[in-house]
């Protein structure tokens, strides 16, 4: 999987301790929609991309007794959909049943084909997706599903399967 980085113990993006995987691409849809640079991850886009084999990420997660979930975000996971889908499939095939959370700036409608694909995949359970772009000067909101406060009031999380 091509990644910008991995935080092996993250306590910010989900209610459970997580391994946070920063994906490697983004269309910068939030910037385009706002007409100005607003992305909190723009610096991340300029950092080096590393290819880390899925089995290495999975082994690192499995060997960590603290983490109880995997969060994929940090640019735009759905812009590297094939890699993300393959990784999730391998995580489940390895026997890990912990929650997997995908942070996306897309709306549910914009990625409905991928959400439909996820919901139909065999042996996939406990997949959560956070939807919605960052909107500057919007009110933040606490999300019950994630157990964290999201930056914009249009953002929400949903359990997919």
Stretch 61-87: mean pLDDT, rounded?
96
Residue 54 has a pLDDT of 98
Which residue, among 150, 143, 135, has the nearest Cα to 29 in the 3D structure?
A: 135
For residue 31, give the 3-state DSSP assignment.
helix
Q: How confident is the model at residue 58 (pLDDT cuts 50, 70, 90)?
A: very high
- Tell me: pLDDT of 61 over 90: yes
For residue 35, give the 3-state DSSP assignment.
coil
Residue 124 has a pLDDT of 73
Q: Which pair of tokens denotes residue 45? A: 């886009």
Tokens 């009110």, located at residue? 139
Split into its structural domains, the chain has a count of: 1
User: Any bridge partners for residue 24, and if so which?
Assistant: none
Residue 119 has a pLDDT of 84
Strands of the sheet containing 2-10, edge to edge, are 50-51, 2-10, 18-23, 69-73, 99-103, 127-131, 156-159
Domain residues for the domain of 51 are 2-159
The model's pLDDT over 90-128, given as tens digits with 9 standing for 90+, comes to 999 999 999 999 999 999 999 999 999 888 877 777 999
Average pLDDT of the chain?
91
SS3 for 78-141, per residue?
HHHHHHHHHHHHHHHHCCCCCEEEEECCCCCCCCHHHHHHHHHCCCCCCEEEEECCCCCCCCCE
Q: What is the pTM of this model?
A: 0.93
For residue 161, give the 3-state DSSP assignment.
coil
Q: How confident is the model at residue 48 (pLDDT cuts 50, 70, 90)?
A: very high
């Amino acid at each position: 999987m091509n990644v910008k980085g991995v935080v092996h113990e993250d306590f910010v993006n989900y209610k459970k301790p997580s391994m946070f995987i920063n994906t490697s691409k983004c269309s910068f849809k939030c910037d385009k929609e706002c007409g100005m640079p607003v992305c909190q991850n723009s610096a991340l886009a300029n950092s080096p991309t590393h290819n880390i084999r899925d089995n290495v990420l999975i082994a690192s997660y499995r060997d960590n007794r603290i983490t109880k979930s995997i969060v994929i975000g940090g640019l735009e996971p759905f812009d590297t959909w094939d890699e993300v889908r393959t990784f999730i499939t391998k995580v489940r095939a390895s026997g890990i049943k912990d929650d997997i959370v995908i942070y996306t700036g897309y709306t549910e409608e914009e990625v409905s084909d991928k959400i439909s694909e996820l919901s139909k995949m065999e042996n996939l359970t406990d997949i959560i997706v956070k939807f919605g772009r960052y909107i500057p000067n919007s009110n933040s909101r606490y999300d019950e599903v994630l157990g964290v406060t999201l930056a914009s009031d249009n953002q929400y999380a949903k359990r997919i399967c």
